[in-house]
Amino acid sequence: MQQSPPPFTLAGFRRGAALAVPFGASSLLYGLAFGALAIEAGLSAGEAVLMSAVVFSGTAQIAVLQIWEGAFAVMPIFATVLVMNARYILMGAALQPWFGPLPARKSALSLMFLVDGAFVLASRQRATGDTDAAVFLGVGVVSYLAWVVATGLGCWLGQGLGNPRTFALDFILVGFCASATAMLWKTRAHLGPTLAAVAAALAIDRLGGGSWAIAGAGVAGAVAGGLLHGLKR
């Protein structure tokens, strides 16, 4: 069934950009931390900024830094980015009813800026009756610019900072995970997949395949979540 496409206007883009501004603060903090940690991990400032510009995924980028040094670990890095961003598969699926009727170039352009903030803020805005699809792009582009600029600033500051461990900057990813888990934890149904994930991560880490730990945890959690679905809750 072909629906008529939603509006896609400059005014909608501006509304989205305005929505994104309050969230610039957290984008900025992660960008600064990523820049400083990237320098510490041995990337050049140019490489760090390039990575932010073409990958645009804070959690995945910080996670990859942990397995950056050492072996030429391409497959673990590919798998890590894949599982860390697997939530975008769900979000993309959820956006199909909204963006599906748009011309392909507009939906593709919008999806390039798919991040948590854009998804959450634009979905919330849409629920208020503002169906302009460019709202999403507005949020995404502002988050993108904040992320790339903050990465550059973080690289610059990081060079004078000394060891980021002194300021516990290396804890930022664990801190992010702790706070996000606390917020996302809604039902006891999370327990099984989480235990499977912890067991997988620790086992892989113990066996020396540390760079696979995150990817393995994601796969173990997904399998457990799928298998446990429909059991008594």
Partner 1 sequence: MGSSDKALFIIAVMALAVAICRFSGFWLMRFVPITPRVQAGLAAIPIAVMAGIMAPAIVRGGLPESIGMIATIGAVKLGGNDLIAILAGLTTVALLRQLV
Q: Which of residues 138-177 bind partner 1 (CB under 8 A)?
A: 165-169, 171-177
Structure tokens at 46: 């140019």
Structure tokens at 109: 């352009």
Q: Do 155 and 39 touch, CB atoms closer than 8 A?
A: yes
Contact status: 71 vs partner 1 (CB under 8 A): no
Contact status: 26 vs partner 1 (CB under 8 A): yes
| Shortest distance in whole angstroms from residue 11 CB to partner 1 | 24
Structure tokens at 137: 């792009």
Report which DSSP code applies to 6. P
Instruction: Give residue 192's Cα distance to chain centre.
Output: 23
Number of residues that bind partner 1 (CB under 8 A): 92
Among 21, 44, 124, 159, binds partner 1 (CB under 8 A): 44
Sites for partner 1 among residues 86-125 (CB under 8 A): 86-96, 99-100, 107-108, 111-112, 114
Among 32, 37, 51, 148, binds partner 1 (CB under 8 A): 51
Sites for partner 1 among residues 176-205 (CB under 8 A): 176-185, 190, 193-194, 196-198, 200-202, 205
Q: Which long-range contacts (CB under 8 A, 24 or more apart) does 186-192 make?
A: 187/233, 188/233, 189/228, 189/233, 192/224, 192/225, 192/228
Among 37, 39, 64, 148, binds partner 1 (CB under 8 A): 64
Report which residue type is found at 72.
F
| Shortest distance in whole angstroms from residue 6 CB to partner 1 | 15
Contact status: 58 vs partner 1 (CB under 8 A): no
Q: What is the DSSP string of 9-46?
A: -HHHHHHHHHHHGGGHHHHHHHHHHHHHHHHHHT--HH
Question: Which range touches partner 1 (CB under 8 A), out of 7-15, 64-72, 120-128, 149-157?
Answer: 64-72
Within 10 angstroms of residue 5's Cβ, the number of other Cβ atoms is 16
Contact status: 61 vs partner 1 (CB under 8 A): yes
Question: Which range touches partner 1 (CB under 8 A), out of 4-12, 43-51, 120-128, 149-157?
Answer: 43-51
